[in-house]
Every structure is written in structure tokens, then in C-alpha cells.
Homo-oligomer: A and B are copies of this chain.
Amino acid sequence: MPKIVNHEERRGEVVAAARRIILREGIDAATTRAIAKEAGYSNGVLTHYFADKDEILLSALEASHRRIADRLREKLSGRTGLAALRELLLDNVPLDDERAGETGLEVGFWGRSLTSPALLEVQRREAAELRYVMTSLLRSAAEAGEIRTDEDLEDVAERLLALVDGLSVHRLLYPGHVTGERLERLILGEIDRLRA
């Protein structure tokens, strides 16, 4: 009888290995060879599971986004409008090690997306989803009379998402200046600013 190998489990191990390398050494260190070594497989074995390096990197990005989405679904459960928006924003900034890892991964992918159409497409799709969730929450907060409505909600959503991304990368690069405390204060200040 042939040995039964769990295909998805192997793929998961490879993706986890890629993630560890990206966080430790940067995205350009995540070569097929380095990923195989980190996962404890030969280069040859990797080709059974992934077409090329880009497919592994894409899977790592998607796995990270899936994990964020799962965590967020739990945090948003039972919350609506401004309370849900608050959770969404705070969950998207690196206030603990897990989220610092996610931000590090994301920042590495930004640079690479600018020169890789396949990665850029995934980035765009997933950014559009996050933007949709954000705009829906803003709309429900507006309908509930929680927030002022003198500004285009798409503009508000973009401002909040841009601020979250800017503060996140600054928190990683300049942690002495952008402390967790300052980061949280600035995010919560933006929520207060929206109130009716």
C-alpha cells in the first residue's frame, strides 16, 4: 500500500516555513531553496506541492489574511457600527507579537506587489474586501445616528485604512517613537472624531 501523505498538511508546513523566513530575514530571503530547507524537505519535494516560489508566497499572504479574517469575525461578533469599527481598527495595528508578524509580512508584500502582477492582484482583492467591511460598518454607524455624515464615507474609510497602515509600519520601524500607547490613542482619537 502506498504511503498516504496529507497534501494540504504538507502545503501548510511549507507555507509556515515561508512565513518564518519572511519574518526573520525578509521576503527576498524566501527562495525556494531556503523554504525547502526550513521546512525540512528537498527542493524536489516542494515541486509536488507548489508550481513556483510565487505560489508559495501568495499562499503565505492568503493564509495570513485568512487568519486575520477569522480572528476579526470573532471580535466583531455581536458588535455593530462604531463598536465594531473600533475592533476592526485596533485589530489591524501591531499591538502584540502576532499582529507585528502580520504587519511585517504585509510590508514585505507591499514592496514585492509593486513589481509582481500576481501578488498585486491578491493585494487588491483583499484590500477591496477590507474596504467593503469598513464602509459597511461606517454606513451602519451613520444609519444608527452614531456618526456625523457630512463627509463621503468612502473617503472616511480610506483615511482610516491609510492611517492604520501608516501607523502600523511606523510602529515596526520606529517603536521608540510610535509606542503602543500612542498608536492606540491615535486610533481611538479617530473614532471619537467621527462621533455625531
Contacts and interface: CB of A to CB of B under 8 A. Distances in A.
A151 B131 CA distance: 29
A57 to B, nearest CB: 11
A110 B29 CA distance: 15
Contact of A111 (B110, B120, B158, B162): B110
A174 B125 CA distance: 10
A18 interface: no
Interface residues of A, number: 45
A162 B173 contact: no
Contacts of A177: 128, 131, 158
Contact of A182 (B25, B123, B155, B189): B155
Contacts of A113: 173
Contacts of A170: 127, 158, 161-162, 165
A166 B42 CA distance: 40
